[in-house]
Structure 1
Amino acid sequence: MRGFHSKLDSASMGGVAVPLNLAVETEKAQALLQTFSSASLLASAGLGLFCLLADHVLQAPFVLQHVWLRALLDNGVHGLIGLWSWAIVIGLRKKSDFYEVALAGFLASIIDLDHFYLAGSLSLKAALNLPHRPPLHCSSVIPVLCFSLRLLMWALRLKDSWCSLPWMLFVALASHHVRDGTRHGLWLWPLGHTPPISYWLYVTITATLPHLCSVLMYLTGTRDMISTKHGVAIDV
Structure 2
Amino acid sequence: MASETEKIHALLQPCSTESLISSLGLGILCLVADRLLQFPIIQQNDWLRALSDNAVHCMIGMWSWAIVIGVKKKTDLGEIVLAGFLASVIDIDHFFLAGSVSLKAALTLPRRPFLHCSTVIPIVALTLKFVMHLFKLKGSWCFLPWMLFISWTSHHIRDGIRHGLWICPFGKTSPLPFWLYVIITSSLPHICSFVMYLTGTRQMMSSKRGIHIDV
Judge same fold: TM > 0.5, yes or no: yes
Tell me whether 1:208 sits opposite 2:195 in the alignment.
no
TM-superposed deviation, 1:124: 1.4
**Aligned AA (1:38):** T
TM-superposed deviation, 1:231: 2.0
Alignment counterpart, residue 13 of structure 2, candidates 34, 37, 40? 34
Counterpart for residue 117 of structure 1: 96
**Aligned AA (1:165):** L
TM-superposed deviation, 1:64: 1.3
Cα RMSD (Å): 1.4
User: What is the percent sequence identity of the aligned residues?
Assistant: 61
The answer for unaligned runs of 5 or more in structure 1 is 1-19
Tell me whether 1:62 sits opposite 2:44 in the alignment.
no
TM-superposed deviation, 1:89: 0.2
Tell me whether 1:155 sits opposite 2:134 in the alignment.
yes
- Contact 1:185 1:196 (8 Å CA) reproduced: yes
Within 1, Cα distance between the matches of 2:68 and 2:138?
A: 20
TM-score (norm 1): 0.87
TM-superposed deviation, 1:148: 0.4
Larger Rg: 1
- What do residues 29-60 of structure 1 show as CA deviations (whole Å, max 9, x unaligned)? 11111110000000000011011111121011
Alignment counterpart, residue 144 of structure 1, candidates 106, 120, 123? 123
| SS of residue in 2 equivalent to 1:35 | helix
Alignment counterpart, residue 75 of structure 1, candidates 41, 54, 58? 54
Counterpart for residue 53 of structure 1: 32
TM-superposed deviation, 1:191: 0.5
- Contact 1:28 1:224 (8 Å CA) reproduced: no
| SS of residue in 1 equivalent to 2:111 | coil
Judging changes above 3 Å, is the alpha-carbon distance between structure 1 residues 144 and 104 closer, same or farther for their aligned structure 2 residues? same
Within 1, Cα distance between the matches of 2:33 and 2:14?
A: 26
The structure with more helix, counted as a fraction of residues: 1
Higher mean alpha-carbon deviation, 176-185 vs 56-65, is at 56-65
Moved over 3 A (4+): none
TM-score (norm 2): 0.96
Tell me whether 1:199 sits opposite 2:208 in the alignment.
no
Aligned residues: 213
Within 2, Cα distance between the matches of 1:78 and 1:233?
A: 33
TM-superposed deviation, 1:179: 0.1
The answer for unaligned runs of 5 or more in structure 2 is none
- What do residues 124-167 of structure 1 show as CA deviations (whole Å, max 9, x unaligned)? 11111111110100000100000000011011111511100000
Counterpart for residue 164 of structure 2: 185
